[in-house]
Amino acid sequence: MENILVAGANGTTGKMIVDLLQESQDFKPVAMVRKEEQKAYFTAKNIETVLVDLERDVSPSFDTNNPIDKVVFAAGSGGKKVQEVDQDGAIKLIDESKKQGVKKFIMLSSMGADTPEQVPELKDYLVAKQNADNYLKQSGLPYCIVRPGALTNDAGSETIALELKLNKQGEISRSDVAKTLVQTLNTAIANQVTFEIIKGQTPIEKAIIALS
């Protein structure tokens, strides 16, 4: 089983990712949390945790019982510290992942990150995501960048619309985003690629395999 570090594990989408990994036959999650009190949720489920603040030194992310194989970056500042967390925190974790020989880095980004100026109310956030995405692309790490539309808390359908560029707006459930991210962990598919997703009619696994 591969050990997957989940940055932002305490977030709504992060918890879904961790739960999917725990249920998987192929992956074992390691939850990265920022506060001591956030560890209880995961330790109650027998999930290893690491206490790391993305605004500080991120090297303890890899002080785990077993070496980290892959990383999912699902952390977010909630719009409060976009440069410190969404940009610089991601960049620090990319650097540390490269140093540690991580096999694949999965980035949860956002639709609009390629054209931040078109969404003035989210421009700072989208610029931060764009910078982090570009840094990952140039890092030399195997990567996959997933850019969902507006996130909802609706029940997942396990079907999506996926294109490198959708050229239309839309929503998608956090559940389906989490499932998409976990699917991209497969080393054989979705490599060195950036794509957008919203709710749609294609089964998630089929949509991702079609990229390869």
- Could you read off the pLDDT of 162-195 as tens digits, one per residue? 999 998 999 999 999 999 999 999 989 999 999 9
- Is pLDDT of 198 > 90? yes
Tokens 């490599």 locate to 191
Of 104, 70, 73, 103, the C-alpha closest to 91 is 73
Q: What are 5-24's pLDDT values in tens digits?
A: 999 999 999 999 999 999 99
How many CA atoms lie less than 13 Å away from 153 in the CB half-sphere?
3
DSSP 4-19: EEEETTTSHHHHHHHH
Q: Is 46 left (phi over 0), alpha (psi -120 to 50) or beta?
A: left
Q: What is the mean pLDDT of residues 198-205?
A: 97
Report pLDDT digits (tens) over 98-136.
Answer: 999 999 999 999 999 999 999 999 999 999 999 999 999
Length of the chain: 212
Task: Look over the chain and give the mean of its residue pLDDT values, rounded to a whole number.
Answer: 96
Active-site residue 41, yes or no? no
What average pLDDT does this structure show over 27-45?
96
